[in-house]
Structure 1
Amino acid sequence: MATPRLFVKGTVLGYKRTRTIQRPSSTLLQLEGVNVKEDTGFYLGKRVCYVYKVGRESRCIWGRITRAHGNSGVVRARFQHNLPPQSFGATVRVHLFPSSI
């Protein structure tokens, strides 16, 4: 029996921004296997975890997916503490539980 999938990998793209202003309270994420805006609906409200290391210890910053961003499957997420710029390009885990389906 195969173990169920508990999370989907995503990539941190950066902060929501305009030409002159960055908004660190809203982070853009690209999720694996999500390429169109219609596929993002399932992930809205799901919890996101960014794991990083401090010395030998692992820590994480939790957040939630809030809405879609554009038409290419990118989503916006809001974290408890804003992600640091070192996280750009890093992976995050989008937890698939609890699910309304």
Structure 2
Amino acid sequence: MTTANTTLEAIFVSHKRGLRRIHPNRSLIRVEGLKNKNLASNFVGNAVISEYKKEGQLFINKGMITRVHGNSGVLMAKFERNLPPQMVGKKVFVKLFKVEELSY
């Protein structure tokens, strides 16, 4: 669906977590090649797309990178619909352009 020159592949690592609670509305994604906070901060505001199949039909979930998580280049994103836990370790695509605000 996506072309290589407009997107970067990333891995959905986990949901944001606290000591006693998981926050499923915030997703942590890791882009290969981002090793520090300074490089990752360039992606804040970019669009993110998650693709998955359900009952043979392709669904596209759009989102936006909201901030950097930690010092190792992990990004935090918010999607229109929360990503399910079954997608941990699966690919998402980071677009190379900024978006304003997502209209939910």
> Structure 2 length as normaliser, TM-score?
0.86
Moved over 6 A (4+): none
- 1:4 Cα deviation after fit: 7.0
Instruction: Determine if contact 2:50/2:62 at 8 Å carries over to the other structure.
Output: yes
* Counterpart mapping for 1:64-75 below 5 A: 64-75=64-75
Paired residues, number:
97
Instruction: State the one-letter code of the partner of 1:88.
Output: V
Instruction: Indicate the RMSD between aligned Cα atoms, in angstroms.
Output: 1.7
- Residue 97 of structure 2: SS of its match in structure 1? coil
Structure 2: any 5+ residue segments left out of the alignment? 100-104
Structure 1: any 5+ residue segments left out of the alignment? none
Q: Write the distance in 2 (CA, Å) between the matches of 1:28 and 1:95.
A: 16
- Residue 35 of structure 2: SS of its match in structure 1? coil
Residue-by-residue CA offset, 1:10-64 (whole Å, 9 max, x unaligned): 0001110012100111110001111100001211110100101123321111100
Q: Write the distance in 2 (CA, Å) between the matches of 1:24 and 1:69.
A: 15
Residue-by-residue CA offset, 1:60-89 (whole Å, 9 max, x unaligned): 111000000000000100011111111111
Instruction: Determine if contact 2:25/2:82 at 8 Å carries over to the other structure.
Output: yes
Match of 2:78 in 1: 78
